[in-house]
Structure 1
Amino acid sequence: MIYKNSIEGISSEMLEGFFVDWPNPPSPQTHLMLLKNSSKVILAMEEHTNQVVGFITAISDGILSAYIPLLEVLPAYKSKGIGAELVNRMLKELEDIYMIDLCCDDDLVPYYDKFDMRKTNGMIKRNYHRQSGRPTV
């Protein structure tokens, strides 16, 4: 597995199959745009096929706060330590930041406990009609 901190050389064709179980997933083209607009991104790539098999993003002010909105590994590559490696690498990238936040479902809390993250309260608002990232008509 190759890990990259850049999207240089990444095309939308290399981003097929993500956002599993999302009812209205972003297209690979939208996925590429969100990677470009993230403060930090780390990609896991299959060495032999040059396919992106996992990614993590962070949005940050670069001083005090960062938010990790997305971590995903393709289903065929789960349970191989790729997600953990992506999280560890991102936390290393953000080690100079005071607060690193993410939101997750209750069933994922034990996963993030392993990274010395603590459960807290949070508030969210979801505009599901915008889930795909495409403009609404």
Structure 2
Amino acid sequence: MRISYTTDIETITQEGLQDLFLSVKWESGHFPSELLKAMRGSHFVVTAWDGDKLIGLINALSDGVLTAYFHYMLINPGYQGKGIGKEMMALMLDKYQGYETKVLVAYPNVVEFYGKLGFKTAAGTTPMFISDLI
């Protein structure tokens, strides 16, 4: 298995996004055309590939100067635990080196992973959102 990484969003397809998002049981996988638009509207996207199969993705939304918000980060379960997420995040953090704030929302089962990459919880804050998918 040789994993490749790219920031070229033109290689992303609706089908690839749908397969990836549904592999981790995320409801947004049922909206592949919207996901593709979201990736194209992102400030920066890193993808991981096994041949022509999309197996991982992380995207950033940013003001372009001070803050980057890492919205999606997911890896097909068959490829988890192989350093792919770590590599994608390293590419993302390199892109946003020097920014004052890098933010993400982490589910409890991945807090330890993000902690190893340097992220910390912020005392006194609570992540909040409105979603029609929940």
TM range (shorter): 0.7 to 0.9
Q: In the TM superposition, what are the counterparts of 1:55-66 in structure 2 within 5 Å?
A: 55-66=57-68
Higher share of residues assigned helix: 2
Question: For 1:23 and 1:80, how far apart are their aligned partners in 2?
Answer: 25
Question: For 2:19 and 2:81, how far apart are their aligned partners in 1?
Answer: 17
The Cα shift of 1:123 comes to 2.9
For structure 1, the residue ranges without an aligned partner over 5 or more in a row are 133-137
The amino acid that maps onto 2:13 is S
- Deviations 1:26-70, CA, capped at 9 Å, x for gaps: 4222221111011010000112xx111100000000111110011
Paired residue for 1:116, among 113, 118, 123? 118
Paired residue for 2:26, among 9, 22, 25? 22
Relative to the length of structure 1, the TM-score reads 0.83
Relative to the length of structure 2, the TM-score reads 0.85
For structure 2, the residue ranges without an aligned partner over 5 or more in a row are none
Percent identity among equivalent residues?
A: 28
Distance 1:34 1:24, change over 3 A: closer
RMSD: 1.8
Secondary structure in structure 1 of the residue aligned to 2:16: helix
CA contact (8 A) 2:5 2:47 kept: yes
Aligned to 2:107: 105
Question: For 1:81 and 1:23, how far apart are their aligned partners in 2?
Answer: 25
Paired residue for 1:73, among 66, 72, 75? 75
Give the structure, 1 or 2, with the largest relative contact order (CA under 8 Å, sep 6 or more).
1
